[in-house]
Copies of this chain bind each other. A is one copy, B any other.
Amino acid sequence: MKIQNDLILRAARGEQTERVPVWVMRQAGRVLAEYRATRAQAGSFKSLLKNPDLAAEVTIQPVDIFGVDAAILFSDILVIPEAMGLPYRMDEGKGPSFDNTIQSQRDLDKLSNDYILENLTYVFDAISVIKRDLNDRVPLIGFAGAPWTIFCYMVEGRGSKTFSLSRAMLSKDPELAHALLARITDATIVYLKQQIACGCNMVQLFDSWAGILNQDTYVIFALPYIRKICDAISEVPLTVFAKGAFFSMEAMSSLPCRTIGVDWHTSPAFARKAIGSDKTLQGNLDPAVLYGSDEFIVEQTHRMLEAFGPQKYIANLGHGVYPDIDHNKLKLFIQTVQAYQFNRS
C-alpha cells in the first residue's frame, strides 16, 4: 500500500522532497484538549496506553488537527522493562517509578525476555487499529527507548538529575551493566521488529539520558547497543535521537541508521559537520520558542530551516513539546515549516 504523504519516509531515505516534512515529539499529548479528553476517558496514562482503541485515537489526533507529516505511536519507552518483568507506576506530576530495580546479577536473573511479544500485545493491537484508521494518509513512526536510557530507569527506579546510581554501576560493576544492557537490547530488537511487522513505517530510538554520560562512557555503554539495534533493523528507516550527547555526535556518524535527531542545544552546523553529508538530520527548535509571539516563532522557525537546508532534513522540535504550550503555537510552527519556500538555486 502506498502512503499518500510519504515526505518523511523519502527524507529519511535521503531522497529529494518538494518541501521539508515535519512532525513533533510528544505531538500526541497534553497540548491537545482532545488528548486530555481521551486520557480522562481512559482514567490514567497507563490505562490509555494499554487500551488499543484509545491509544490509536490519540495517535491520530495530531494528524487530523495539526496536519503533521507523520503519526507517532502513542506509547511509553518503559513498557520494555515492564515486559521484561519490572513493572512501573506512573504517578500524576511525579513521573515513573519502579518498586523493584536492578542492583545485582540476582535481580537480573529474575527478568525474562521470553514474553516480550506476549506482554506487549496491547501495543501491537494499537498499531493495527492505527494503521486501519490512519488509512495510509501519512507514515506511522514506531519507537523504543535506547538501551542506556532504559537501563537508567531499571537501575535508578525513577527519574533523577544525575542518575548517579546508574552511573555508579558503570564504575563499580561494568560486567553487570553490560549484561543488563545486552538483555535490554535483545528485548528492544524483538519489540521493534514486531512494531514493523504490524505496520510501523519507520522507527526511532530515544536516548533521553544520553546527556548524563560523556564521550568515553557513551562509546562503551551506549553506542554498541544502539549499533546492534541499527544492524538488526533493516526493514524501515531508523532514527537515533540521543539527547544531550553532543560529545558523541561524531561517533554516531558511523551508525548504520538513516537519521540522527538533533536536540536544541546543538546547532545545525555542529550536527551536520559531526554527522557528515550522508545522513538525514531531524530537529531542533528550542521548545521554549513556542512560548513566544507568533512573529518570534515564525522568525526562529525560518532560521532553523535555513540552517538545516531543504534536503535530508525532517523538521521537529529539539525535544518534546512542553505540555503547557498553546496548541495554536504548535500549529503555527508546523504550518510555518510546511509553507516555507527556500530561495536556493
Known: A265-B247, A288-B167. A162 touches B214 (CB 8 A): no
* Residue in contact with A286 in the complex, picked from B161, B217, B270, B292, CB distance below 8 Å: B217
Residue among A161, A164, A270, A288 with the highest chain B CB neighbour number at 10 A: A288
- Chain B residues with Cβ under 8 A from A246's Cβ? 246-247, 265
How far in angstroms is the closest Cβ of chain B from A111? Answer: 23
- Chain B residues with Cβ under 8 A from A322's Cβ? 162, 164
Contact B214 A291 (CB under 8 A): no
Residue count of chain A within 8 Å CB distance of chain B: 34
Q: Which of A19-27, A29-37, A118-126, A168-176 contacts B (4 or more CB under 8 A)?
A: A168-176
User: With A164-B322, A168-B291 given, can you name 8 additional A-B contacts, CB distance below 8 Å?
Assistant: A162-B287, A167-B286, A171-B290, A172-B291, A213-B265, A215-B267, A246-B246, A246-B265
Contacts A/B (CB < 8 Å), 10 sampled: A162-B287, A162-B322, A171-B291, A171-B292, A171-B293, A211-B265, A214-B266, A246-B247, A246-B265, A247-B267
- Chain B residues with Cβ under 8 A from A172's Cβ? 291-293
- Chain B residues with Cβ under 8 A from A159's Cβ? 161
Contact B286 A214 (CB under 8 A): yes
How far in angstroms is the closest Cβ of chain B from A158? Answer: 13
The reply on A98 being an interface residue by CB < 8 A is no
The reply on A340 being an interface residue by CB < 8 A is no
Q: What separation, in Å, do the CA atoms of A273 and B91 have in the docked complex?
A: 45
- Chain B residues with Cβ under 8 A from A291's Cβ? 164, 167-168, 171-172
Q: What separation, in Å, do the CA atoms of A214 and B288 have in the docked complex?
A: 11
How far in angstroms is the closest Cβ of chain B from A337? Answer: 18
The reply on A264 being an interface residue by CB < 8 A is yes
Q: What separation, in Å, do the CA atoms of A287 and B215 have in the docked complex?
A: 15
How far in angstroms is the closest Cβ of chain B from A174? Answer: 9
The reply on A324 being an interface residue by CB < 8 A is yes
Chain A residues numbered 159-190 whose CB sits less than 8 Å from any CB in chain B: 159, 161-162, 164, 167-168, 170-172
Known: A162-B322, A296-B171. A270 touches B288 (CB 8 A): no
The reply on A77 being an interface residue by CB < 8 A is no
The reply on A289 being an interface residue by CB < 8 A is yes
